[in-house]
A and B are shown apart, each in its own frame.
Chain A
């Protein structure tokens, strides 16, 4: 059965109708057309589908559309600040923090969640925060480097 859902999606108020059983991941990709969010495992193990729901990073592959009325969502498409790439995106490009790129949207979202809470994380704290995001190219060293560089950039920008 279709259900009317009111959302704030990447800052915009959105009203749509969706079947209650539709996964948030599919709602974003197939019905709204935001295909940046990826499906990896489909069971909450890999983090490729990470989005922000009410400010918190979650696995969109495990959420039903029927749960979402009134929710505030931010996807990878909402990470940019205006036309500018987010410093985390820039750092991933600069440091080669993406190989095949499939885990990257999830990594970026989780890095954002971490840096919002902790602008100066240690390497161990970054590893802990990203433990639910798998990279099968195993480019973890560069991903961690990119998060550290992004953190530095964000801290410096705050001082400017």
Chain B
């Protein structure tokens, strides 16, 4: 396996310092978070960064915080493993913890960060649909500047985001949700573990006491150039009682809305069909009494 070429490594301790380094050092640099994408790109895709700016020494970037309004702030360097095992996230948004647990291996998840994963904008990123289903926002910081963009609008295309080269994704913010919010993430993949999704479906919904759906988000991964919301499918479910028939209709609509490609993992047609099936399943799982899976085995079995 190829080895990295010599490079300079900077370890700033603040976001401002990191932005200044990129500005002063010019093109050919790269921000480094967990490195599980960057080092692989260096080895496999022939990337030759002249320098990297390691963000791991910036303390404020690796915290999970709750704001007084109930919103949750996930620092960009929060690892996938931290999200997977966080008692707070497992309690409030188990399907987000579940989506993080679908990424790579435990070893990878100890390094891979939620911010790095979003900034690399892989269409099949597992946490992206779960975050979009939670209406998450991306906090983007530059030198003495800050802006907040809905995560859905953060992605522009495969590997592309709205960020400028000297901007850093510093946090993902999940706005407050009612305690009744429930959800599901289904990753459908060639292997149980250690592979990318053919299709990822995240659902977040809330029902009233008569089981009518009062809030719903359906987000899809790996079936469009960017992670996407299936808005027409959402419209079918909203204000309805989630019967098998309604879920089936929504699945069909989601399959029409997405725009998958054919690749080494599957054909576009198969992906579309699996969007239909898994959207239906995810909706019914989310609405069921036992929507909180307890073990990965149970989680696995709920996919089929």
Contacts and interface: CB of A to CB of B under 8 A. Distances in A.
A134 to B, nearest CB: 8
Interface in B265-304: 295-297
Most buried by A among B43, B107, B296: B107
Interface residues on chain B, size class: 20 to 34
A72 interface: no
A45 to B, nearest CB: 6
Contact of B106 (A43, A45, A124, A132): A132
B56 A21 contact: no
A133 B52 CA distance: 29
A53 B111 CA distance: 10
Interface string B47-62: 0000010101000000
Nearest to B295: A124
B9 interface: yes
Contacts of A143: none
Contacts of A41: 1
15 contacts: A20-B9, A21-B7, A39-B1, A44-B36, A44-B107, A56-B110, A58-B111, A59-B107, A62-B111, A67-B32, A69-B11, A124-B296, A124-B297, A131-B194, A132-B104
B105 interface: yes
Contacts of B104: 44, 132
A50 B6 CA distance: 24
Interface in A1-48: 1, 3, 19-21, 23, 26, 39, 41-45, 47
A132 B8 CA distance: 30
B36 to A, nearest CB: 6
Contacts of A1: 6, 8
Q: Is the contact region of chain B dominated by helix, strand, or loop, or is it mixed?
A: mixed
Given A58-B107, A58-B111, A132-B108, A43 B56 contact: no
Contacts of A47: 105, 107
A57 B111 CA distance: 9
Given A56-B81, A59-B111, 17 more contacts: A20-B8, A26-B3, A43-B1, A44-B40, A47-B105, A57-B106, A58-B111, A59-B36, A59-B107, A62-B40, A62-B111, A64-B35, A66-B54, A67-B35, A124-B296, A131-B106, A131-B193
A62 B44 CA distance: 12
Interface in B203-243: none
B8 A50 contact: no
A43 B43 contact: yes
Interface residues of A, number: 36
B111 A63 contact: yes
A53 B35 CA distance: 14
A43 B4 contact: no
Interface of A: 1, 3, 19-21, 23, 26, 39, 41-45, 47, 50, 53, 56-59, 61-64, 66-67, 69, 110, 113, 124-125, 128-129, 131-133
B43 A42 contact: yes
A67 B8 CA distance: 11
A38 B193 CA distance: 22
Contacts of B4: 21, 23, 64
Contacts of A66: 7, 9, 11, 52, 54
A3 B296 CA distance: 42
B5 interface: yes
A67 B7 CA distance: 12
B39 interface: yes
Most buried by B among A23, A47, A131: A131
Nearest to B51: A20
Nearest to B5: A21
CB-CB nearest 5 A-B residue pairs: A132-B105, A42-B1, A66-B9, A131-B193, A20-B9
A23 B295 CA distance: 35
Interface string B1-30: 101111111010000000000000000000
Given A20-B8, A44-B104, A57-B107, A64 B39 contact: yes
A131 B296 CA distance: 12
Contact of B3 (A20, A23, A45, A59): A23
Contacts of A58: 107, 110-111
A18 B64 CA distance: 34
